[in-house]
Amino acid sequence: MAGKKNPWGGAGKGEGDGDTPETGESDPGKSGGPRNPWLPGGGSDNGKRRSASIEDIFKNRGPEGPRRSGGGPRGPSFRLPERPGGKSWVPVIAVGVVLLWAGLTSVHFVQPREQGVVTWFGGQYSRTLNSGTNFTLPWPIQQVTVELVSQIRSETVPSGNTEKLILTGDQNLVDLSYLIRWNISDLALYQYQLEDPQDTLLEVGEAAMRAAVAKQELDTVLTGAGRAEIEQEVRDRMQARLDAYRSGIAVQGIEINKTDPPSRVEEAFKDVSSAQQDADAAMNRSRAIAEQLLARAQGDAAEFNNIYEQYRLAPEVTRRRLYYETMESVLSRTDKTIIEADGVTPYLPLNEMQRRRNQPQAATPAQPEGQ
Amino acid sequence: MENIWQTYRIAIIAVGVAIVGLLSFLYVVPETHQAVVIRTGNPERTVNRFRPDVPYGQTGAGISWRIPFFERVQMIDRRVLDLDMERTQVLSNDQQRLQVDAYARYRIIDPVRMVQRAGTEEQLETALLPILTSVLRQELGRRPFASLINAERGTAMTNITSALDRQARQYGAQVLDVRIKAADLPEGRPLDAAFTRMETDREEEAATIRAAGQRDAQIIRAEAQAEAARIYAEAYGKDPEFYDFYRAMQSYRQTFLQGEGESSMVLSEDSEYFRQFRGQR
């Protein structure tokens, strides 16, 4: 058994002989096998005892070799159980592989929102698959390309935060960005009509948008008054173009995201709105002043009217009363100098007055009688 | 297996060679392409050539055959192709410059002529681009600047399309459409001038709004003053003489009580106030 396990089965026979020279027996005739495989000279005279030749190896590996009959529990490779009738497994495996391949490539589960295009050998168009389970001939006879169809896709223009300046009808510039929402309306056309449908869509959109904006004035675009009109016009124009190209694309909608004045002149635009605020503020202030004026006038008029009512009832008395009350309150708070006789040159104690003025306490209690 | 191989080795190799040989006769034309079969340098026939109104599946795409070595197959796009022009400066007839970006959509309708006159799609594109540019320049240069901004209006695009189409037909291509993608003011002075104009435009608007605000404010005050005057006149007009007296009294109080103790008075003894002071006359 040991000999059979040795892959170099042919050389195994000389094992015992090979050991002897090492133990001291130096009979060259008995031990023909080479002690050193790198020294071929020694035992080459005896063909039976040389190391395994290429022919030996092939012989042993052949159907009659040790591997064939001696697999055993520790055999180096897995072996299929014998097929009844002793036939080969090869055709069975081949048929299985073919069936598996056919099954995998001829059944297609097309998801909702998707459609597939079937072609013969990757060339001639056969039909369009709708969503669900579909059967075709196996690859490479028929090929299927699946694409999302009803799902609405969107393209933002411009794609980053860059400024996109468009000329308006009054030769002003507006910074505008928009969104195109679209889907595939006819998959075969979409696949075969245009070289680059997506690029076409963007270019058509660009041309349509500029044409629509060029019809409007800057203010209409900026305030959004013309926005709905532009969106509708761009959509219609794009669809007309894309239909003319038979692109298989349906434009679902255009949304204008922003319409801003160009950043270089933004300050001037902001100043316009602050001017409006300024104007409103000025008017508000004036209104406040006006209200005050009117209230004052009404108050004064009411006061006068009330007094006048009393005055009409007793003119002379009221008049006197008012006179004395006024003089009283006026004179009680002022410094007084009374000149009694005619023709006397009065001495005006101006210095004293000045002094008293600096002493407010002393100035007040003065009475006409006391002086 | 070995037995089969041993027995039929020659046959198997022969079949393999035959299959490879047969395959070299065949080629697949996709729906997106048309094929020109060139036999020793001469276009011999076309496959899947574009014809309008033939539905897909019946156009001739799919497996086709040729004689190997003798016949070479050149695939040519049959889809609508894009000719994207570089941005070009166009001078309008009022001497204004405009940066124009345009595209053309075309289709190769005569692949044989296209192969003979242009060679490949790339070469066709390099041939068509300068034509498009010059046609655009010519046609747009006849128009004033204002109409260039909106070139979609009018006949400009139709003229350009037909002019380009005439030239493209020589190469076996048909031009479907030419569109101006963008018409912009060139960078530098024209753009600066436009920005300055926009700025001054807004400055004017802002100044107008502010002035209007001032004017309205003034009007509001004036109206209030008029109304106040009317109210005063209505009240005081009832007795001007009493008003004179009443207002004088108010005025005295106002004048002398303003700063307390700061006023001095020199009074004549025979003033009205001292009438009683002197005793009854």
* Tens-digit pLDDT profile for residues A5-46: 444 444 444 444 444 444 444 444 444 444 555 555 444 444
R_g of chain B, CA atoms, integer Å: 48
Q: What secondary structure letter does DSSP report for A349?
A: -
Residue B212: per-residue pLDDT: 94
Mean pLDDT by 10 residues, chain B (281 residues): 76 90 86 88 84 79 83 88 88 84 91 88 91 89 79 76 92 90 82 89 93 94 93 89 88 76 70 71 48
Query: Which position has the higher pLDDT, A243 or A56?
Result: A243
Residue A349: per-residue pLDDT: 60
Across the interface, do A244 and B176 touch by the CB < 8 Å criterion? Answer: yes
Given a cut of 90, whether residue A252 has pLDDT beyond it is yes
Residue A80: per-residue pLDDT: 64
* B203 contacts in chain A (CB < 8 Å): 268, 271
What the block records as the tokens of B118 is 């242009």
For A154-183, give one letter per residue: b (16+ CB within 10 A) or e: eeebeeeeeebbbbbbbbbbbbbbbebebb
- Rounded distance between C-alpha atoms, residue B176 and residue A198, angstroms: 18
- Establish if B251 touches chain A: CB-CB under 8 angstroms: no
Residue A22: per-residue pLDDT: 44
Q: Which of A195, A298, A334 sits opposite B80 (nearest CB)?
A: A195
DSSP codes of every residue in A172-183? -EEEEEEEEEEE
Q: Which of A206, A283, A363 sits opposite B181 (nearest CB)?
A: A206
CA distances from B107 to B32, B35, B116, B227 (A): 12, 14, 16, 81
Q: Which of A195, A268, A363 sits opposite B81 (nearest CB)?
A: A195
∠ Cα B123 B126 B129 (to 5°): 145
- Rounded distance between C-alpha atoms, residue B279 and residue B26, angstroms: 148
Beta bridge partners of A188: none
Across the interface, do B216 and A283 touch by the CB < 8 Å criterion? Answer: yes
Q: Are A301 and B231 contacting, i.e. CB atoms less than 8 angstroms apart?
A: yes
Residue A201: per-residue pLDDT: 92
Q: Which of B80, B238, B246 sits opposite A193 (nearest CB)?
A: B80
CA proximity to B177, closest of B100, B77, B103, B87: B103
Residue B151: per-residue pLDDT: 60
Across the interface, do B199 and A268 touch by the CB < 8 Å criterion? Answer: yes
Sort strands B264-268 and B173-184 into parallel, antiparallel or unpaired: unpaired
Across the interface, do A206 and B261 touch by the CB < 8 Å criterion? Answer: no
Across the interface, do A264 and B81 touch by the CB < 8 Å criterion? Answer: no
- Establish if B195 touches chain A: CB-CB under 8 angstroms: yes
- Establish if B202 touches chain A: CB-CB under 8 angstroms: yes
pLDDT (tens digit, 9 = 90+) per residue, B238-258? 888 888 988 888 888 888 777
CB burial class (10 A; 0-12, 13-18, 19+) of residue A16? exposed
Interface predicted TM-score (ipTM): 0.75
Residue B118: per-residue pLDDT: 87
Residue B229: per-residue pLDDT: 93
- Rounded distance between C-alpha atoms, residue B47 and residue B26, angstroms: 13
Residue B42: per-residue pLDDT: 85
Across the interface, do A334 and B220 touch by the CB < 8 Å criterion? Answer: no
Residue B144: per-residue pLDDT: 83
Task: Provide the H-helix boundaries in A37-186.
Answer: 54-61, 66-69, 90-106
Residue A341: per-residue pLDDT: 59
Average pLDDT over all residues of chain A:
76
Query: Which position has the higher pLDDT, A195 or A340?
Result: A195
Give the H or E element holding residue B258: none
pLDDT (tens digit, 9 = 90+) per residue, A88-119? 778 888 899 988 888 888 888 888 888 888 88
pLDDT above 90 covers a percentage of chain A that reads 19
Residue A302: per-residue pLDDT: 92
